[in-house]
Amino acid sequence: MSALAAGSDAPSIATQLVGSGLIGLREGLEAGIVVMILVAFIVKSERRDALKWVWLGVGIAVALVAATFLIIHFGTNTLDGLAAEIAAGIASLIAVVIVTTMVLWMRKAARTISGNLKSGMEKALVVGPVAVLSLSFFAVGREGLETALLMVGYAENTAGSPWPLIGLLLGIAAAAGITVLMYLGAIRIDMAKFFIFTGAFLVVVAAGILGYGVRALQIGGVLPGGTSLAFDVSDTYDAGSWYGTVLGGIFNLRPDPTVLQFTAWLLYLVVVLFLFLRPLTVEEQIRPSQAAATP
């Protein structure tokens, strides 16, 4: 366990459940919609024989994501001292880079993802079972990898608690239920608004993971400025209060950030939120559809 996590108060159970549950709900629903599109297209195409290859691809993707999470998480937990801090810091920074890339990509691709998936499945059905399995594997695996990386960075600050994993599983279970109801036509969700709000939430979470990673690398001696604090409100900051558990448990914020840590967190939050929330240009809106139409 890293000294950074051990040195701070562990977030409350409720906060750990809520934070990881929201991640599981968002990522699970995104993956569920992908599977729903593929399944609906196969059923409509009267190729139910191909469904088993879709589910096999999904199962392999889920298993690979679980293995990735366990390898990274338990790999960092086997280290001690400065090595643990460096490993946790590097894992956190890698998670931030990949999650940021995926969130910004989904912002542009969301409006055309259904058409692209249907087009890809139409071609895969012609090629054969391996192509169908591969398409479902990569489509779900992409979302799953994002989830695993988010959870590695998020769980590093919970002192080895099992509650983040439980919250994640509950969120994924809720997402699966919602996806089934959507498939049956029982409920409708404004997906554009849903992904905007949850995407912004992921950006804020990623900013906290970035700050955590910077601080871990400073403790490990990789980055300078570990003793230069931007501010310190520990005397008036109650880590056990509702705001303390939310800020620390979900967003990895602490009352005594270093100058480099706070600067990295603030710059990331401002720049990435701007890129994520800014309206798409006409060129950005046209390019995906043109790309999909190109043979």
Which tens digits make up the pLDDT trace of 18-28?
A: 777 888 888 88
Distance CA 154, CA 15 (A): 12
Mean pLDDT throughout 145-153? 74
More confident: 221 or 8: 221
Of 215, 163, 246, which is closest to residue 2 (Cα–Cα)? 215
pLDDT of residue 8: 44
Q: What percent of the chain has pLDDT over 70?
A: 80
pLDDT at 294 over 70: no
pLDDT at 226 over 70: yes
pLDDT of residue 4: 52
The most confident of 38-42, 111-115, 153-157, 197-201, by mean pLDDT: 38-42
More confident: 11 or 85: 85
Q: Where are the domains of the chain?
A: 3-293
- Taking the whole predicted model, whether its pTM rises above 0.85 is answered as no
Mean pLDDT taken over the chain? 81
pLDDT of residue 289: 43
pLDDT of residue 160: 59
